[in-house]
Structures are given as structure tokens and as C-alpha cells.
Chains A and B, each alone.
Chain A
Amino acid sequence: MNSTATLSSGNRTASSGDALDLVLRIGLLPILMAIVIVGTSLMSPYFLGWMNIVNILRMASFLAIIACGQALVIIAGGFDLSVGAVVALASVVTAKAMAAAASAIGGPDIVAIVIGIGAGLGSGLAVGLFNGICVSRLKVSGFVVTLGTMSATAGIGLLLTNGIPVYGMPKAFVQAIGRSQFLGFPLAIYIALAVILVMVFVQRRTLFGRYVYAIGGNLDAAVVSGVSIRPHLVGTYVVSGGLAALVGILLTALVGSGQASLGGDAMMLQSIAAAVIGGVSLRGGIGRVEIVAVAALFLTILGNALNLLHIDSRIQPIFLGLIMVLAVALDEFSRRRTSRV
């Protein structure tokens, strides 16, 4: 009798441990996401409407693309604060170049569109290259370098436009890239999926991805192992800058004009939040872009849900902040539970 009593109490503690283990194993993210989706769909009839779902997926795509680049930089042990400003710069540069090319050439729209997109992507890659070179050559921390380029990039964007939206892009650009749909979903979603798939491949299957993990995991060990550090560090910032520019171009096509107010600090902070909630370690060396993409989707759903539930927009950042801290705390907790053998 006595022994059965101890047995059952032993079982109970084991099962509560199992529940915790389960949370630690599948992570907080799917659980939170399920709670938000179920909760909001019960409270708001619009939430699961087709329009809203498409809207969520589109906004999540933008965030996921940027967060993929951000994650790569953070995994290598860096930080990219300039992504939001690059979105704005790429938007302005794309619109200006496309409008100028359209009026100068006057030929088929496709030429102007390609020139515009090339210029926009180029501006993002250039900022990324500058970031990467400063970090790897001058040995200034990524945080400081990108803080500087964030300010400078945003300044250039404003200088180019004086804060006035840039119009004059070919209609075909807006129709083909911004508004076109494929099987009922906007193009941006397919682009984001492609970016995520490519990044997953890069992380898992390429030398570049592996070396980024190694550099972030232990820089000195990577040096001793003969890994060339500079090109890989520069590469992470270039990828991040390029992806941010891509989002800038997609947003430009969506709104139909080049604007220095796109992206901005909010997008930068959200990209970092998505990376962290998606399990990227700020110490470097750990993180997977597919989970970061899910985190980006979660953040977008959360924002959408809070809007639909008419929660004061001033209160919304508080939720985001608390969830971020919770995610990082859980990550630390699970790290500490693992022991050496």
C-alpha cells in the first residue's frame, strides 16, 4: 500500500517534468502561436477571413526575409541595425532609378524595371558591404558600425527625397510585382518562401553557412582551423543588406511609390525580435532561419490579432517586449538544464 503511494507520487512528478520537457523540446513558439490563433479566431470573426490571412502572410513575408539576413549576421556574432534604413534607401533608390530610366529610355517597361530593381538591390548590397568591411577590417563591433550606417543610410534616403514620395515608376512594376497574385497569394509570399528555402540550404549544406556557424561559435577556433574570417563576415552583412533591399523593393511595388519612411526602426527591431524568438543566440553560433521565419509569422499574427481585438497600439509593444524576454529566458533555462557527460 505504502509502496504504491510512493510510486504514484513519483509518477506525478515525472509527468510534470515531462510537460516541461515537452515545452522545452518543441519550444515556446508553436504553443504561443496556437494560443494566439485559437484565442483570436474565437473573439474576432475577421481573423480567419481570407483577406486577413493573405494580409498576414504578406506582412510576415517582408519581416521573414529581413529576419533571415539578420539571423545570419547574429549567428556569425554580429548585429545589423541598419536593415530598417536599408529598406527605406532601397525603396527610394529603386523608385528614383526606375522613374529616371523610364523617362530617359522610354522603351519597354521591363528595361526600366530591371534597372530600378538592380539599383535598389545594389544600394542594399553596398551598405552591407560597407558594414562588413568596417566590421572585419577595422575590428569595430557590428553594433556600432551598423548604428552608424543606420543613421547615415536613413539620412541619404531623406536627402534623396526631401521626405516626398517618389512617383513615376512604370505601372507594370506595381502590377507585376506589387499586386500580382499566383494561386490566390501575392508574389511576395513566394519570394519569401524561396528566400527561406535558399537560406536553409545555405545554412545546412554550404561551406559559407557552416563557416558562419563556426565563426559565431568560436572565432579563435575557426582561425586555428584555417577558416578565412573576413570574407565570411562581410558575406553575412552583404546578405543582410541585400535581403533588406529586396524587402524595400517589394514594399515599393506594393505602395506604388518610393518612400523614405518605409522600413525604419520598427522593422529593424522586429527583425531582431524574430531572430531571438526564433532561437538565434545573441552569443552567436546557434540559430536556424526556418524557425526565425516562423517567429516572424508569429510576430505578425500577434500584431494583427492585437489590432483586431482593438488593443491600444500603445500597449502592443509591451506584449512584444514581454514575449521576447520570455523566449530568451526559456532558451537560457533549457541551456542550463543540459549537463555534461
Chain B
Amino acid sequence: MTSADITRTTTPNTAEPLLVLSGVTKRFPGVLALDGVDLDVKAGELHVLFGENGAGKSTLINVIAGTFPPTSGSFRFGGEEMSELTPHEARAIGISPVFQEFSLVPSLTVEENLFLGREKSAAGVLDAGGMRKRARELIGELGFDLYPKARVDSLDRAHQQMAEIAKALLGNVKLLILDEPTASLTERETGRLFELIAKLKTDGVGIIYVSHRMREIRALADRVTVLRDGRHIKTLDAATVTDGELVELMTGRKIDVLFPTIAHDPGETAIEVHDLSTADGLVKGVDFVARAGEITGIAGLVGCGKSELVRAIYGIAPIASGSVALRGKLLDRLDPRTSLRRGVAYFPANRGVEGLALSRPIRENVSMAALDLSRYQRGGVIRRAAERALIGPIMETLKLRPPNIERAVGDLSGGNRQKVMLGRAMARDLDIFLFDEPSVGIDVGAKVEVYEFIKRLVEQGAAVVVVSSELPEVLALSNRLYVMHHGRIAALLEGAAKTEQNVLSSFFEEESREKAA
């Protein structure tokens, strides 16, 4: 990687940190999102922002990126007071944000997206060759497995994330903002990203990094700033702070263990999949069994077919061949409607896209999958009082905050949105639960609640399948763990064999077997 490719100016003045925020307040109607927050980021420093969903991290990085101005407070960047900063100007002076919500145009290609708004051109004519060359170089440098001519909407989330990061690094970067950049990257891609971050730091780039993952904070952070309820709680030296301390500062309470101890009590076979292949070819001849009273995990890299397997079982991904039996009964058709009637629930990984109608209130989203039941309607007429009386307590047990079920789901944070999804499963009687990446995009506090929810389900005798790219999560939760690789089951690990080492080695064995074949 040559530093000429990722161009940046040398830090001019070391007396003042690169970015200095003091007393920054941001008020939305009815909400004080930031309340007098101080933050400074030095050149060459990685500064982690840590806090629960709704703590103000997003608002803060949006203020820094120029999305909206702070209500009050001072914002200095590179020794100059910033006022009326627009996103465009922010980029021009070297503030480059990578948000969780991507800023990519789906119908354009990767390279068109990279150069969007700063195309190379001469007299209004695009320099396509020059841009292609530059895009190739940049992607090569980053070590991303990304084809510059691919349309963004044809890419999966991980590759879109790579495109987004590449876009942020094209140009003159002084301050890079990364909002949970590894949420959908594989271990290898994450490794690449970390190398890149180290390189950027030695080049004097300041980095603001938002993450809930302790391991990343340990590996990368110089300093950590904890936010809670829009207030600056503490800025700490990452080398000396403990995990427990951070979580305690973040939540304002003590959380001893992230993963609950779950008593598995395997009973009858709930799901039996035989020689299943999906129409898109991502699942090839899979045999899979999940039993009542235990958690069956499915681990694997992004794109290995683990999501598609549960989606096929639920009836969203069309199957090409093979069979699915529920409780010993072979199914002749698979679609979400009949799956729900048979007691199967599916929790999609991408809640915004497949899970929730954002413009509709919580109540309607929770009852959406259960309205065919007679306790919600009679003859096609909804029993509104009954609906309210059933949904209210469900969201209460899930600790929805604030506890107003008439709010539009679009106004909720990630943790609350996941609660709406969980509530939907509680709105009807179900006993088979398929979780696709249950903890993506939610904070530690909400994660603990999701795990507790899963624990309750299993201990009441439900069959739970957890698909996850986060290895510690599936290892800790599942009783039996399937490892998938390139659409096939690479291993089934149980008991003492269920270790990170074995999961990783089964990838490599499968890889070498494929190469040999």
C-alpha cells in the first residue's frame, strides 16, 4: 500500500487536537439528543465512542459529519471554528464518515458510487478510464474482494459495507468516522480493515470508531468516550480500562455476564431437513435437524448459505430439491403463511428491510403476523380493544421504552426495533423460532435482553435455531452447532467439541477438500 494512493496532508499544528467539540448540544423537538458533550480527537488517534442505542452516538457523528448543525456548543476542526458545516464541505475538508446506513446508490456500480459527486472529468466528459484505474487501485490496496463494475444492488451487505469504506477513503481524509464497520464483515475482511486502520493511524488520520464489540475496542482503541442519555459520561484511556468498567459506565448498571446459562433439554425433533438445495444455489444438499428444548446454532462466513437455509425452511427462499419436515410431518409446501400457522417464526437479519413497516405504529407491527387468529379479529373485522389489550402487555414484558405502542416504528432505535420483532413472535403461539443474526446492530444491553428472551423460549420447550456470523454468540448459545461452508454442512459440533478452534478448522478442512475435489 503506498501512501500516495490515499492522499492526505500532514498535520499542520500539533498544539491543538484535530477535532475539538466542547459543550455540544443538539435538541430535536421533544428530545434532547446531546447535552453538552465534549470530545477531542487527536491526529493519529483512534477514539472509540461507546454507548447504548439512543445514547447520542449517531447524533454526535452526524453533527461532526455536517448532517445537521449543533443547537449550541463549539466545534473546532484543524484549529478552525466550524459553523454551518454541510456534509459536502465536511468531506472537502477531510471529514469522511462511514455510516451504518449506506450512502450508496443501489442502481449504480461500485466505481460510479466511489466517485459520486467528485467524478474525474474534463470539460464535462467523464474520465471513465482514469476512474476505473483509481477504483481498482484503491480496492486492491484495501484488499477487498470487490468487483468495481458490479451494481451495488447486486451485492450482499458485507460487500456493500466494503464499497462504503472504500468510498470514504477515496480522497483527502483527515478524520475518518466508522460506525460499526465490522457488523457485516467476515473475520478475514475485518482483519484487513484493522491493518488498514493501523496504517491510517501512522499516517496521522484521526479516527472516530463506534462499536459495541469489546474485542475491537481492545484491539484498536487509544481512548474511549462513554456516552449515556446524550451526556458525556467519561473519557478513558483504553489501555487501563476494563470491559466491566466500560459496560457499567455505558448502562449505568452492572452487567456481569453477556451470555446467559441455558439449560438445554433436547426433546422431539422439531425440524428435519433432508438433502435441501435452494433455487439460488446457495444451499446445496443440506441435512439438518433441530430439536425442541435446545438451541441449534448455524455458524459460517458471510455468504455460506446459513441464512438461506433458515429462509428456505421458513418458505421465503424457494427450494430446488429436498424436503423439510416439521415435528415428523413432511411439508408439501413452504410459504411464510403456512409456516406461521404451523408455529414457526422467522426473525430476519435486516429488520429495516424485511422485518418492519417503519411508517406504521408498533401495535400494528407486532400484531401483523397474528391477525388471522380469532383473538385479534372476527370475520375480517379487527377487534381493536382486544388487540390493544394483547399487544400492550407483550411490549411491557419486553421492556419497551418509552412504553407507547402507538409510536411509528421508524422512530425507534435498533434495540427497540428488535423488541418489536420479538413481540411479533409473542403475539401468537409458536414453538419453532428461527433467528437470523439476532444481535446485529443492537447494543450490549439490548443483546442481553435478546439472549434472555431466547433462553426463556428454550426453557419453555421451544425449538430455537440461531444463525450468526458472530462466533462467540453461536458458541455460547447453541447446544449443537452446525458449521456451514459454501452451501454445505462442514461439521456438526456438540459438547466438548464445540470450540472456536474446531469451527475455524472445519472451514479450512472443507476448503482443502474442495480444492482437492
Interface residues of A, Cβ cutoff 8 Å to B? 17, 21, 204-208, 210-211, 213-214, 216-218, 220-228, 281, 283-286, 337-341
Chain B, 303-335, contact with A by CB distance < 8 Å: what is the 0/1 string?
000000000001010000000000000000001
In the complex, are the beta carbons of A225 and B29 less than 8 A apart? no
B369 in contact (CB, < 8 A): yes
Chain B 367-385 residues near chain A, CB threshold 8 A? 368-369, 371-372, 377, 380-382, 384
Residues of A within 8 A of B380 (CB): 206-208
Which residues of the other chain, B, contact A340 by a CB distance below 8 angstroms?
Answer: 54, 58, 411-413
Contact A224 B31 (CB under 8 A): no
Q: Select from chain A the residue with minimum beta-carbon distance to B59.
A: A339
**What are 5 A-B pairs with beta-carbon distances under 8 A?**
A218-B354, A218-B357, A223-B336, A224-B316, A340-B412
**Do A210 and B371 form a contact, CB below 8 Å, given A21-B29, A222-B357?**
yes
Q: Are A226 and B336 in contact (CB-based, < 8 A)?
A: yes
A339-B337 CB under 8 A given contacts A205-B382, A207-B377, A218-B358: no
A206 near B382 (CB under 8 angstroms)? yes
Q: Which of A207, A211, A225, A227 contacts B424 (CB 8 A)?
A: A225
Asked if B411 contacts A341 (CB within 8 A), the reply is yes
**Main DSSP-derived SS at the A contact region:** helix
User: Does any Cβ of A come within 8 Å of B107's Cβ?
Assistant: no
Whole-angstrom CA separation of A222 from B372 in the bound complex: 13
When A223-B316, A224-B355 are in contact, do A341 and B382 touch as well, CB less than 8 Å? no
> Cα distance A156–B408 when bound, in Å?
44
Cα–Cα, bound, A140→B413 (Å) = 34
Q: What are the residues of chain A within 8 A of B15 when measuring CB–CB?
A: none
Is the Cβ of A226 less than 8 Å from the Cβ of B364?
Answer: no
Partner of A337, one of B29, B340, B357, B371: B29
Contact B356 A337, beta carbon cutoff 8 Å: no
Report Cα–Cα, A227/B338, bound state, in Å.
10
Are B29 and A214 interface neighbours, CB within 8 A? no
A281–B408 alpha-carbon span in the complex (Å): 14
Q: B348 on the interface (CB 8 Å rule)?
A: yes
Q: B353 at the A/B interface (Cβ < 8 Å)? A: yes
When distances are taken between beta carbons in the complex, the residues of chain B under 8 Å from A221 are 354-357, 365, 368
Is A217 within 8 A of B359, CB to CB? Answer: yes
Q: Kindly provide the distance from the CB of A202 to the nearest chain B CB, expressed in whole angstroms.
A: 9
A205 CA to B354 CA, complexed, in Å: 25
Give Cα A222 to B412, complex, Å.
19
The CA of A208 and the CA of B369, in the complex, are separated in Å by: 13
B292 located at the interface, meaning its Cβ lies under 8 Å from any Cβ of chain A in the complex: no
Q: A207-B377, A221-B355, A281-B359 are in contact. List 6 more A-B contacts (CB 8 A).
A: A206-B380, A211-B371, A223-B316, A224-B355, A225-B368, A227-B368
Contact present for A220 and B29 (CB under 8 Å): no
Say yes or no: A339-B316 contact (C-beta < 8 A), given A218-B357, A221-B354. Answer: no
Q: Are A213's CB and B353's CB within 8 A?
A: no
Assembled-state Cα–Cα distance A223/B346 (Å): 11
| Total interface residues in chain B, CB < 8 Å | 44
- Whether the pair B359, A226 counts as a contact (CB closer than 8 A) is no
Partner of B354, one of A21, A207, A220, A286: A220
CB distance from B429 to the nearest CB of A (A): 14
B34 CB to nearest chain A CB (Å): 11
Check if B33 is an interface residue, CB within 8 A of chain A: yes
Q: Which residues of B contact A337 (CB under 8 A)?
A: 28-29
In the bound complex, CA of A77 to CA of B371 (Å): 21
Chain B residues with CB under 8 Å of A210's CB are 364, 368, 371, 382
Closest to B376 in A: A207
The answer to whether A214 and B413 touch across the interface, beta carbons within 8 angstroms, is no
For A17, A225, A283, the residue with the greatest tally of chain B CB atoms inside 10 Å of its CB is A225
B120 interfacial contact with A, CB 8 Å: no
Counting CB contacts under 8 A, is B402 at the interface? Answer: yes
- CB B89 to nearest CB in A, in angstroms, measures 20
A213 x B357 contact (CB < 8 A): yes
Contacts of B411 in A (CB 8 A): 338-341
A221 to B424, CA, bound (A): 12
Which residues of A lie under 8 Å from residue B377 when comparing CB positions?
Answer: 206-207
Whether the Cβ atoms of B358 and A224 lie closer than 8 Å is no
| CB-based nearest A residue for B369 | A225
* B336 and A224 within 8 A (CB): yes
B25 on the interface (CB 8 Å rule)?
no
Interface membership of B184, Cβ < 8 A: no
| Contacting pair B355 A226 (CB below 8 A) | no
Option from A205, A225, A226, A339 in Cβ contact (under 8 Å) with B31? A339
For the complex, what is the distance from the CA of A281 to the CA of B357, rounded to whole Å? Answer: 13
Q: Does B339 sit at the interface, judged by CB under 8 A?
A: yes
Residues on B with C-beta less than 8 A from A17 are 29
Q: Which residues of B are found within 8 Å of A213, using beta-carbon distances? A: 357, 360, 364
> Is there an interface contact between B33 and A339, defined as CB atoms closer than 8 Å?
yes
Cβ of A226: which chain B residues have Cβ within 8 Å of it?
335-341, 369, 372
Q: Is the CB of A225 within 8 A of B364?
A: no
- By a CB distance below 8 angstroms, the chain A residues around B372 are 207, 226
User: What residues of chain B lie closer than 8 Å to A341, measured between beta carbons?
Assistant: 31, 54, 402, 411-413, 416
**Distance A221 CA – B335 CA, assembled complex (angstroms):** 14
Tell me whether A214 and B360 are in contact (CB under 8 A). yes
When distances are taken between beta carbons in the complex, the residues of chain B under 8 Å from A285 are: 357-360
In Å, the complex CA distance between A216 and B359 comes to 9
Query: How many Å from the CB of A218 to the closest CB on chain B?
Result: 4
| B393 nearest CB across to chain A (Å) | 20
- The smallest C-beta distance from A286 to any residue of chain B, in angstroms, reads 5
List the B residue with the shortest CB-CB distance to A17.
B29
Q: Chain A contacts of B314 at CB under 8 A?
A: 224
Q: Which residues from A are CB-within-8-Å of B54? A: 340-341
Q: Mark B402-437, 1 if CB is under 8 A from A, else 0.
A: 100000100111001000000010000000000000
